[in-house]
């Protein structure tokens, strides 16, 4: 291989989502040459992995991509799928990134002489700096037990779900009660489908409390600016499941107990299939109680903030359960349940096999400090809690990108000085 003929860029960004384009924005502002490589289309996940009634769970005012803050008529509303796509299309137009779409990155490896060699489906590139901005949600998780379920049961992952009509008639089992699972269960429930929900350990929070959106209260309290180093869980917070809540129809709580009272069937964690019955952990009551404890705990923190700062607000309240499980159910006869489809909502796993550098821990997760790794010139961007709660979201990914680009600019300047000397 003649590396002199390889196309070189000071910076290569892997991933053309909001993180990658945020980095491109700041690199352009600095006049730093770069290239964005995207295996699909820019922002493709927002088109191909969201259901029809998807909407943001955080208020529109938190959408603050670099140079492109939300400026629509409903800052306290929640953009729907088409509005999100339009917002992101506007961002791409402003950034005008040097991007090559449909290019799969197969391997990124350090070179002995410094920098990196990037092997792709479109040939090889080299770079002084590489930003891995492909996020952390790569491979949909579906358990191996799914292979043993009857072929007559339609199975899809949450990334494939669009609406109730795509599933065959009959009852639906939703597995997982994180943000996607809870909202998809609600979507099916509102569509009149019989829903069975295997509840996980996801916490929940109120949508509105004491006259304001809970997100607004938490922003005022500084929660979204708290760096991971100061969080009580430290880096452990990166493994936490997001609180379930919704922005649908102007925003509201998601209360699984209310759904149960309306006919949704709730169970504990799905653990196996024995050839005839689905087997569940008998932990439903604990899961519901733990979620409500978090809900009330967040509201109590808001109460304290209001009191400490003498803020005028409506009176406090405490959530009281509207339904209790009559008994734990550890089994469900699949044939007798009427279930014809399963939607797996148990998340994604990261896949960084293309990144051949010693920057991962024993669990395969990137090791970094605010996106900067121990390998000079290699960075991560757009991961959950990379620096703060909003690192993987529209609200703070731009701030993280600016930090990395400042670091890269300093490194390039130092390299230029060294070569001149």
Q: Do residue 219 and residue 336 come from a single domain?
A: yes
Q: Do residue 365 and residue 397 come from a single domain?
A: yes
Q: Which of 381, 353, 355, 350 is nearest to 368 (CA)?
A: 381
Q: Do residue 203 and residue 306 come from a single domain?
A: yes
Q: Which of 406, 354, 377, 382 is nearest to 127 (CA)?
A: 377
State the pairing for strand pair 339-344/154-157: parallel
pLDDT of res. 234: 75
Q: How far is CA 395 from CA 109, 209, 247, 281, in A?
A: 31, 21, 16, 37
Total number of domains constituting the chain: 2
Give Cα 335 to chain centroid, integer Å: 35
Distance CA 381, CA 18 (A): 10
Q: Do residue 83 and residue 44 come from a single domain?
A: yes
Give the number of C-alpha atoms closer than 13 A to the C-alpha of residue 183, restricted to the C-beta side.
26
Name, in order, each residue with C-beta under 8 angstroms of 364's C-beta and a sequence gap of 6 or more. 350, 352
Burial of 40 (0-12, 13-18, 19+ CB in 10 A): middle
Q: Which domain holds residue 21?
A: 3-138+350-420
pLDDT of res. 1: 46
Q: Identify whether the C-beta of residue 197 lies closer than 8 Å to the C-beta of residue 174.
A: yes
Burial of 3 (0-12, 13-18, 19+ CB in 10 A): exposed
Q: Do residue 163 and residue 230 come from a single domain?
A: yes
Q: Do residue 124 and residue 188 come from a single domain?
A: no
Q: Do residue 194 and residue 262 come from a single domain?
A: yes
Tokens at residue 269, please?
Answer: 């964690």
Q: CA 273, 276, 202, 156 torsion: positive or negative?
A: positive
Q: Do residue 283 and residue 404 come from a single domain?
A: no
Chosen domain end from 289, 315, 344:
344
Q: Identify whether the C-beta of residue 125 lies closer than 8 Å to the C-beta of residue 9.
A: yes
Q: Identify whether the C-beta of residue 57 lies closer than 8 Å to the C-beta of residue 84.
A: no
Q: Identify whether the C-beta of residue 258 lies closer than 8 Å to the C-beta of residue 322.
A: yes
CATH number assigned to the domain comprising residue 210: 3.50.50.60
Question: pLDDT (tens digit, 0 to 9) for every residue of the chain, 421 residues total?
Answer: 445 579 999 999 999 999 999 999 999 999 999 999 999 999 998 888 899 999 999 999 999 999 999 999 999 999 999 999 999 999 999 999 999 999 999 999 999 889 999 999 999 999 999 999 998 777 899 999 999 999 999 999 999 999 999 999 999 999 999 999 999 999 999 999 999 999 999 999 999 999 999 999 999 999 989 988 888 877 776 667 789 999 999 999 999 999 999 999 999 999 999 989 999 999 999 999 999 999 999 999 999 999 999 999 999 999 999 999 998 899 999 999 999 999 999 988 888 999 999 999 887 889 999 999 999 999 999 998 888 888 888 989 999 999 999 999 999 988 876 555 4
Q: Do residue 284 and residue 354 come from a single domain?
A: no
Q: Do residue 362 and residue 274 come from a single domain?
A: no
Q: Do residue 27 and residue 94 come from a single domain?
A: yes
Chosen domain end from 328, 344, 360:
344
Chosen domain end from 344, 371, 388:
344
* CA end-to-end distance (rounded Å), the chain: 31
Q: Do residue 208 and residue 154 come from a single domain?
A: yes
């Amino acid at each position: 291989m003649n590396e002199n003929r390889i196309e070189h860029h000071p910076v290569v960004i892997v991933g053309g989502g909001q993180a990658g384009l945020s980095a491109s924005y700041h690199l352009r502002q600095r006049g730093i040459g770069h290239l964005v490589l995207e295996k699909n289309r820019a922002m493709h996940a927002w088109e191909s992995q969201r259901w029809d009634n998807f909407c943001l769970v955080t208020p529109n005012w938190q959408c603050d991509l670099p140079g492109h803050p939300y400026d629509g008529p409903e800052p306290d509303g929640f953009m729907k799928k088409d509005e999100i796509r339009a917002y992101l299309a506007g961002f791409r137009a402003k950034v005008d990134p040097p991007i090559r779409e449909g290019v799969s990155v197969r391997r990124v490896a350090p070179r002995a002489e410094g920098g990196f060699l990037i092997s792709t489906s479109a040939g090889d590139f080299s770079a002084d700096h590489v930003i891995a901005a492909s996020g952390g949600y790569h491979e949909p998780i579906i358990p191996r037990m799914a292979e043993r379920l009857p072929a007559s049961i339609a199975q899809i992952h949450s990334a494939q779900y669009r609406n109730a009509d795509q599933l065959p008639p009959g009852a639906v089992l939703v597995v997982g009660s994180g943000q996607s699972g809870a909202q998809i269960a609600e979507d099916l429930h509102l569509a009149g489908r019989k829903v069975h929900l295997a509840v996980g350990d996801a916490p929940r929070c109120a949508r509105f409390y004491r006259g304001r959106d809970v997100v607004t209260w938490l922003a005022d309290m500084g929660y979204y600016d708290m760096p991971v180093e100061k969080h009580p869980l430290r880096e452990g917070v990166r493994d936490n499941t997001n609180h379930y809540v919704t922005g649908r129809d102007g925003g509201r709580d998601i209360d699984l107990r209310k759904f149960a009272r309306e006919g949704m069937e709730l169970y504990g964690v799905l653990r196996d299939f024995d050839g005839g019955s689905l087997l569940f952990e008998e932990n439903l009551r604990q899961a519901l109680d733990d979620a409500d404890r978090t809900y009330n705990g967040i509201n109590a923190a808001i109460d304290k903030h209001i009191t400490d700062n003498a803020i005028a607000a409506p009176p406090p309240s405490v959530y009281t359960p509207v339904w209790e499980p009559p008994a734990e159910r550890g089994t469900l006869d699949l044939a007798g349940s009427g279930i014809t489809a399963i939607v797996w909502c148990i998340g994604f796993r990261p896949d960084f096999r293309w990144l051949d550098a010693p920057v991962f821990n024993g669990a395969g997760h990137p090791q970094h400090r605010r996106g900067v790794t121990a390998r000079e010139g290699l960075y991560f961007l757009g991961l959950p809690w990379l620096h703060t709660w909003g690192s993987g979201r529209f609200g703070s990914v731009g701030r993280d990108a600016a930090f990395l680009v400042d670091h890269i600019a300093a490194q390039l300047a130092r390299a230029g000085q060294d070569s001149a000397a």
